[in-house]
Chain A
């Protein structure tokens, strides 16, 4: 089945130690998104790629970076994790980029839960 895969499902890191979360997709979608979701809150968009075009949300901290080496893979790098970065990180894809007239259904992976010690 075509899907969005996130590994690992749980990631433990130490305060200040760089960590990378991975996402892959078999849907061949043009757009890949990274969201941060804290407990009992809505997902918060960090950034998205439309093909190779990177789009950062205005309030995403510089501590968060992303790479998309090809259509299938996208990585979230947290350069110096703090305790406040502990959260669920969700990857999603869509065929079309976000926009007022696009019908862009998003397809989500199961998420990676990050714990910062």
Chain B
């Protein structure tokens, strides 16, 4: 069935460092792809999404490009902040499940 494989953490970066979290997918057809973020003690919230090949989702300085040729949707940010510390989940549709999550800690 459809699934995502996500780089596992934890990831610890210094403030203003570059972030990449890898996500690859297996799917039939052309699914939409999502990144969700979960701050401590809270539910998940959508960070960004892309609905077709070569689409780039972006929000709050984060970006991810839907790459059909490599079946990937890697999350990137050029300069992380302490407030970005959270767990990040890659996902296909709800019934395909989430990736295992990557915990990001940003230190001042």
Interface residues of A (CB under 8 A from B): 4, 6, 33, 40-45, 48, 57, 90, 92, 94, 98-111
Given the known inter-chain contacts A42-B100, A100-B2, please indicate yes or no for A106 contacting B30, CB distance below 8 A: no
Q: Is the CB of A41 within 8 A of B100?
A: yes
Residue in chain B with minimal CB distance to A111: B43
User: How far is it, in angstroms, between the C-alpha of A57 and the C-alpha of B94 when the chains are bound?
Assistant: 11
Residue in chain B with minimal CB distance to A100: B29
Judge whether B77 is part of the interface by a CB distance below 8 angstroms.
no
B55 to chain A, nearest CB (A): 11
* Residues in chain A near residue B99, CB distance under 8 A: 42
Given the known inter-chain contacts A41-B101, A45-B97, please indicate yes or no for A103 contacting B44, CB distance below 8 A: no
User: How far is it, in angstroms, between the C-alpha of A37 and the C-alpha of B30 when the chains are bound?
Assistant: 27
* A-B contact list, 29 entries, CB within 8 Å: A4-B43, A33-B94, A41-B101, A42-B100, A43-B44, A43-B98, A44-B97, A45-B95, A45-B97, A48-B94, A57-B95, A90-B43, A92-B43, A92-B44, A92-B94, A94-B94, A98-B94, A100-B29, A100-B30, A100-B31, A101-B29, A102-B32, A103-B32, A104-B94, A105-B49, A107-B46, A108-B36, A110-B41, A110-B43
Please tell me the number of chain B residues within 8 Å of chain A, measured between CB atoms: 28
Judge whether B66 is part of the interface by a CB distance below 8 angstroms.
no
User: How far is it, in angstroms, between the C-alpha of A76 and the C-alpha of B94 when the chains are bound?
Assistant: 18
Judge whether B51 is part of the interface by a CB distance below 8 angstroms.
yes
